[in-house]
Chain A
Amino acid sequence: MPSPAVTPWWRNRRLIPWLVQGVAGLVVLVVVAFLVGNLVRNLTNAGLLLSWSWLGNPAGFDVSETLLPFNAELPYWRALLAGLVNTLRVVVAGLVGATVLGTLIGVAAFSSNGLLRRLARVYVELIRNIPLLLQLVFWYFVVFLSLPGGEQAIQLPGVVLAKSGLFLGKPELIDGVWHGQLRLTVEFGALLTGLVVYTAAFIAEVVRGGVASVPPGQWEASRSLGLTPLQTLQRIVLPQALRVIVPGLNSQYISLAKNSSLAVACGYTDLYSVAETTLNQTGRAVEVVLILLGSYLVIDLLISALMNGVNSWVQIKER
C-alpha cells in the first residue's frame, strides 16, 4: 500500500504565505526596533531622554490671540492647546471659505459669459502657480499692513477696519489702540485670505473636472425640458458631479489644514508657532515635534473620515 504523498513544507500553500508574511513582519520590526533603539541611545547620550513632565510647567510666554483664556502663568499644555484651537479656527474658516470661493470659480468656467470664463481661468493659473508662502507674505505685509491705523482707520457704523484688525460691536479708540467686543486680527485675516484664495484655485479645478464629467447630453436634455441654466446646474449637473468632486476635495482640505502651519509667516499664533516657542524654551525637541506630528495627523485623519462619510453619502446608492 503506497504511503499518502506528503507535501514538503516549502511547497505548502498554506504555510508559505504565512512564512513570507512573518519574515516581512520581522524585518519591519527589526528596522523599527533599530530606529527606536538608535533614537533612545542617542538621546540618552545627549542627556535628552523622552520626558513629558515639562508640559505641566508654567509656559512663561503670552499668546496674542486666543479663544481659550490664556496667560503666561498657565502650563505649557494649555499654551499648546490654545495654539491648537487657533489652528482649528483658521482651518475650519478656511475650509468653508475655500469651498464657497472654489465652487463659484469652478462653475464660472462653464459660464456663457466669455469674460467670466476667462477670468476664472486666469485666477486658477495665476494663484496655483505662485508658492503659498509668497502669497501669505504678500497678503500680510503688502495688503493688510497697508491698512490705515489709529484715527485714520476705516470707520463704519459699528465696524472699524484698522491696521491691527477688524473690530465689531462698539469699537472705540483708547490711547491710540482700537478695542472692540469682537476682534479679528490682521494676522488671522491675512492667513485666512491666503489659505482661502490659494486652496480655492485647486478646488475650482476639482469642481470644473467634476462638472465636465457630466455628459453633455444631461445639459441638453435638461434644457429641452425647459429648465433654466441655474436650475440645470443645481438639479441635474451638480448632484452628478459631486460624486467626482468629493474625493478630490478631500486631499485639498487636507492640504489646507497642513498649509495652515505657514501661519508663522504672517505672525498668527497657531499650534506650530506656540510649539516653536515651547521647543526653544524647554529644549524638548523630540517631544514637541511628536506633539506637532500627532496633532496634524489627527486633524487630517478627522477631515479624511468626515469626507469619506460625505463621499459614501453622495455616491449612487445601488440596491
Chain B
Amino acid sequence: MVRLRKLALCAPLLVALALVGCASDGGGIQSQKLNGVKSRGKLLCGVDGKLPGFSFVSPDGSYSGLDVDVCRAVAAATLGDPSKVEFRDLNSSERFAALASGEIDLLSRNTTYTLSRDASGGNGLSFAPTVFYDGQGVMAPKAAGINSLKDLAGKPICVESGTTTELNLADRMREIKATYTPLKFQTGDQTYAAYLQGRCVAVTSDRSQLAAKRTSFPDPAGHVLLPEVLSKEPLTPVTVNADPGWADAVRWTIYGLMQAEELGITQANIDAKVAEAKANPNQADLRRFLGVEGDFGKQLGLPADFVVQAVKAVGNYGELFERNVGQGSKLKLERGLNRQWSDGGLIYSPPFR
C-alpha cells in the first residue's frame, strides 16, 4: 500500500516531465525564421558597427555601409520596408553565438566564408552569396621602411583575436620561416590603438578593413599596405544552417541586387523598368525578375516584388558598392574582383528562372 502511494506521488512529476519534453520540441516548419521575421515585423541584423564603409554608426545613431545595406535590402524584400531593421553591434567572437542563439536573424558582418564555418560538423552556418571578395593584408607605417612580409621577421604584429587572420598570419610566416610575436586584442579598436601607439610594427586584417580603418587615422597617408595578399577572404552574409527556407530568401535577395546591376536596373530607374515590364508582355525575363508575372516570390515565401523592394531601398549591387566603399566613399576601393562577371569580376548571379 505504502509503495503504491509513493508511486501516486511520483505520477504528476512524470506527467510534468513528459509535458516539458514536448514543449521544447520545435522545428519541422520549413522557414521558421522567415515567419518569425514577418510576425515580428522587424529584422534583427548583426553588424560590426565600427568599420567605415561596411557598417558604421554615425554620431546621430544611424547606420551606414555595405553590410548595413545588405540588411536593409533583406528587410525591404521580406517586410517591404528597409527601415524595419534592428542592428546589433557584435565583435568577431560574439557573432556566431549571437546567430546560433537566435539573437539575430542575419549576420552581415564582413565574415569570411570557410569550410569549417559552413560544415555541419563545424560552426554549422549557412552562407549567402559573397558580397565582397577580399584578401588579408598587412599595414605598416611608411616611416618604418617595411616593404614585404620578410621585413617583419622577429617583430611584433597586432592581430584582432577571434578571426581567421591569426591562423593565416601564422601559416604565411611559417612558410617564409620567419618568427614573429602576435599581439592579440579582443576588439578592432584596441588592435588599432596598440598599433598607433607603436606597440607593433604592423597590423594585419582584411585589406578592405585596413583601408577603411586608415581613413580614421590621424595621418592616413603615413601608413601603407604591403603588396602581399595573405589569404582569400570572401566576405559573406550568414544565416543558421537549420533553416534552409530563410537562407534561400536571403540568398536570392542578394542575387537580385547583383542581377539588377547586370540588367542595368538602378534605384533611379526601377519604377520605369517596372512600368516597362508591365507594358511589354513579351519581355518575359524582366517580368519574372521584377515579379510582374510568375511566382518566384511565392516560392521563396516572399512578396512577388521582393527584388523591386530591395533595389528601391538600396540600389543595385554596383550602386551599393560605389556608395559605401568605392569611388563615392572615403575608402575609394577599386572594384577589382568585385566587378560583374561580364566585366571580368566574380559577381555572378545564377539565372532567375
- Using C-beta atoms within 8 Å of the partner chain, give the interface range for chain B: 35 or more
List, sorted by A's number, 23 A–B pairs whose CB atoms are closer than 8 Å: A9-B2, A19-B6, A19-B9, A27-B13, A30-B13, A30-B16, A34-B21, A37-B21, A47-B241, A60-B170, A64-B156, A65-B181, A141-B193, A146-B197, A164-B199, A186-B199, A264-B185, A264-B186, A267-B190, A269-B184, A276-B162, A277-B184, A283-B96
Residues of A within 8 A of B198 (CB): 145, 149, 163
CB contact list, A177-215 vs B, under 8 A: 177, 186-187
- Evaluate contact between A283 and B184: CB separation under 8 angstroms: no
- Evaluate contact between A34 and B190: CB separation under 8 angstroms: no
A72 to B199, CA, bound (A): 22
Interface 9-residue window, one of B113-121, B277-285, B338-346: B113-121
A267 to B186, CA, bound (A): 8
Could you say which of A38, A264, A281 contacts B116, with CB atoms under 8 Å apart? Answer: A281
Using known A-B contacts A41-B24, A45-B242, A283-B122, determine if residue A276 contacts B186 with beta carbons closer than 8 Å: yes
Residues of A within 8 A of B123 (CB): 283
- Evaluate contact between A64 and B116: CB separation under 8 angstroms: no
- Fill in one digit per residue for A40-52: 1 if any B CB lies within 8 Å of its CB, else 0: 0100011110000
A285 to B10, CA, bound (A): 37
A27 to B194, CA, bound (A): 52
- Evaluate contact between A38 and B24: CB separation under 8 angstroms: yes
Contacts A46-B240, A177-B156 supplied; 6 other A-B pairs, CB < 8 Å: A38-B24, A48-B124, A62-B170, A145-B197, A265-B186, A265-B190
Using known A-B contacts A30-B16, A283-B122, determine if residue A273 contacts B184 with beta carbons closer than 8 Å: yes
Using known A-B contacts A38-B24, A46-B100, determine if residue A175 contacts B186 with beta carbons closer than 8 Å: no
CB contact list, A117-170 vs B, under 8 A: 141, 145-146, 149, 163-164
Q: Does B268 belong to the interface (CB within 8 Å)? A: no
Residues of B within 8 A of A164 (CB): 156, 199
Residues of B within 8 A of A283 (CB): 96, 116-117, 122-124
A277 to B165, CA, bound (A): 10
CB contact list, B117-144 vs A, under 8 A: 117, 120-124
B245, chain A: closest CB distance, angstroms? 15
